[in-house]
Amino acid sequence: MSGERRRRVPRRIREQQIIDVAVQVFARRGYHPASVDEIAELAGISKPMVYLYLDSKEGLFLACLRREAERLVAAFQGAARDVRTPELRLWAGLSAFFAFVAEHRDSWVVLHRQASQLSEAITAEVAQARRAVMAEVAGLVRDGIGEALGPVPVADEEADFVAHALVGAADSLTDWMERHPGESPERVTRRLMNMVWVGMRNVLAGEIWTPPAGSGAPGPEPAGTPGAPAAPEHSVQE
Amino acid sequence: MSGERRRRVPRRIREQQIIDVAVQVFARRGYHPASVDEIAELAGISKPMVYLYLDSKEGLFLACLRREAERLVAAFQGAARDVRTPELRLWAGLSAFFAFVAEHRDSWVVLHRQASQLSEAITAEVAQARRAVMAEVAGLVRDGIGEALGPVPVADEEADFVAHALVGAADSLTDWMERHPGESPERVTRRLMNMVWVGMRNVLAGEIWTPPAGSGAPGPEPAGTPGAPAAPEHSVQE
DNA sequence: GAGTAAATTTACTGGTGAGTAAGATTACGA
DNA sequence: TCGTAATCTTACTCACCAGTAAATTTACTC
């Protein structure tokens, strides 16, 4: 066959190669079922190299986590930078998120789906990453709404609520995108923004929608609309 | 305590006891790190019993999955039944969901977080359960909007989009609830409904919100999509 | 071309956990 | 009372996999 001898490669590069493969394998199999042997083999290397460079399986996973999280956050912030209004920054951030996931599906799987049932350190890392994203989004929300709505005392709690809903929706829409390859990240973003933009303002300004009273529905009755009209009229001050 | 001899128990009951424990352990540790030995021990039973009744670790997990999914769907549908308008049904369904998660956190963890990186059969089961939930929600959305908006041609695709966003948001808000124990499921539901109700109509009626044109908007999409046939990239109708 | 540090390998250990064989014990009806 | 079917246990096997010891080879420097 080919006389292709396995060339030696400096540590930095090898590390990245290992992490590249590891992200794929972790995404494919999940943390525990993934074996270091397989990762080493796919990386065209022997197992002790992995341990020499990344310390342990957990260390390897942490490295994957950190690198991919950094990339995602960078994409998010990079898109939002240099954009004037907070509304547009939110748009840009979401758009970048969808584009990122569309292009680096493995990264997203590792970051999100796989990182639950792991040992302390990892769980902490993931939780921190998630908190960071939440904070970022919550900030955009707060700023965006603050500007659009004027000096309204926007409680952090409210912004946090909106951020959670937004991130969760975006995350879930990731699956939807997978089944609709024709959809561009921009289009998905537009739909999502359209879906929540007005509502965000409502929530942050205090709740407006209430479940129409009566009608064996759960909960107390604020008794706002007696006849339970199908669509509670919203203050859509666009 | 001491003199208490271990009574024999008929199969049906033992199975439920085993599943009870398994749900806890799977939720706590995750699928792979969970050991059948531990589950057996906590169930006050020896390992072969588990294999006799549930066939395998995978069978055990599947049993957990099926039971908890059934419970969740039952709660969801039970709440929506006997409610007149679709809008209220959606409200009732979401409310029931939040109440369920608040009360059976382990069930939700098993159903959602743990069920990703597993062998064929399990992945399929989970995917099916998720699809069922999505379909349910999408149906409510379509009906609710259809009634509120009159005879509008609501594409299934649009309803599916909204359903994904809704379910994802609800899922994520689960975490938010954990950090806000004072919040009742009803209140969370109200906020979420307030946030998306108007937007849903917008999305289903065709997109309204568009990123304001020009303004140095995010253009970080250099990679060629110039000839994209499916989605007109810059349909920024002002 | 030595000399040296970095890159890399072969060949192991030890522990853990899924799954099972073979049999012991209890309830329960005829 | 006795049989028998269901319930339950002890005591294994076997494979897989994280992690390591010790050496071996390559590249780079002087």
Closest by Cα among B145, B158, B161, B129 to B89 = B145
Place of tokens 């292709």: A4
Of A164 and B206, the one with more pLDDT: A164
A48 CA, D17 C1': Å apart: 14
- Cα separation, B142 vs B160, in Å, equals 9
CB within 8 Å: A183 and B96: no
B131-170: pLDDT as tens digits: 887 888 888 787 766 665 555 556 688 888 988 999 899 9
What residues of chain A lie within 8 A of the CB of B198, using their CB?
Answer: 198-199, 202, 234, 236
- State both tokens at B152: 């509008």
Instruction: Please provide the average confidence, as pLDDT, over all residues in chain B.
Output: 78
B80 neighbors A218 (Cβ within 8 angstroms): no
CA atoms within a 13 Å half-sphere pointing along the CA-CB vector of A14: 18
Residue A24 pLDDT class (50, 70, 90 cuts): very high
The 3-class SS string of B3-55 reads CCCCCCCCHHHHHHHHHHHHHHHHHHHCCCCCCHHHHHHHCCCCHHHHHHHHC
What residues of chain A lie within 8 A of the CB of B123, using their CB?
Answer: none
Kindly report the nearest CA distance between residue A216 and chain B, in angstroms.
7
Percent of chain B with pLDDT over 70: 74
* Residue B166, phi then psi, degrees to nearest 5: -65, -50
DSSP state of B209: -
Closest residue (CA to C1') to nucleotide D26 in the complex: A8
Residue B1 predicted with pLDDT over 80: no
Residue B225 predicted with pLDDT over 90: no
Closest by Cα among A150, A129, A149 to A199 = A149
A62-117: pLDDT as tens digits: 999 899 988 988 888 888 888 888 778 888 888 888 899 889 888 888 877 665 55
B196 neighbors B169 (Cβ within 8 angstroms): yes
Residue A5 predicted with pLDDT over 80: no
The amino acid at A75? A
CB within 8 Å: B199 and A202: no
What residues of chain B lie within 8 A of the CB of A184, using their CB?
Answer: 225, 228, 231, 233
Place of tokens 């005879």: B151
CB within 8 Å: A166 and B169: yes
H helix or E strand, kind and range, residue B161 = helix B156-178
CB within 8 Å: B161 and A176: yes
DSSP state of A109: I
What is the CATH architecture assignment of A65-204?
A: Orthogonal Bundle (1.10)
Q: Which of residues 16-45 of B touch A (CB under 8 A)?
A: 29-33
Residue A150 predicted with pLDDT over 70: no
Question: CA-nearest residue of chain A to B201?
Answer: A195
DSSP state of B227: T
DSSP state of B157: H
B15 neighbors B53 (Cβ within 8 angstroms): yes
- Cα separation, B106 vs B29, in Å, equals 11
Give the CA distances from residue B3 to residues A217, A238, B6, B40, B112, in Å, rounded to whole numbers and listed in that order. Answer: 51, 74, 9, 22, 42
Q: What is the mean pLDDT of residues A23-44?
A: 94
Judge if the beta carbon of A10 is closer than 7 A to nucleic acid strand C.
Answer: yes
Per-residue pLDDT at A116: 53
Residue B227 predicted with pLDDT over 50: no
Per-residue pLDDT at B90: 81
Q: Which of residues 128-157 of B touch A (CB under 8 A)?
A: 147-149, 157
B34 CA, C17 C1': Å apart: 10
Per-residue pLDDT at A222: 36
Percent of chain B with pLDDT over 90: 26
- Cα separation, A92 vs B201, in Å, equals 23
Question: Is A184's Cβ below 8 Å from some Cβ in B?
Answer: yes
Closest nucleotide to the alpha carbon of B46, via C1':
D9
Q: Which of residues 110-129 of A touch B (CB under 8 A)?
A: 113-114, 116-118
A147 neighbors A85 (Cβ within 8 angstroms): yes
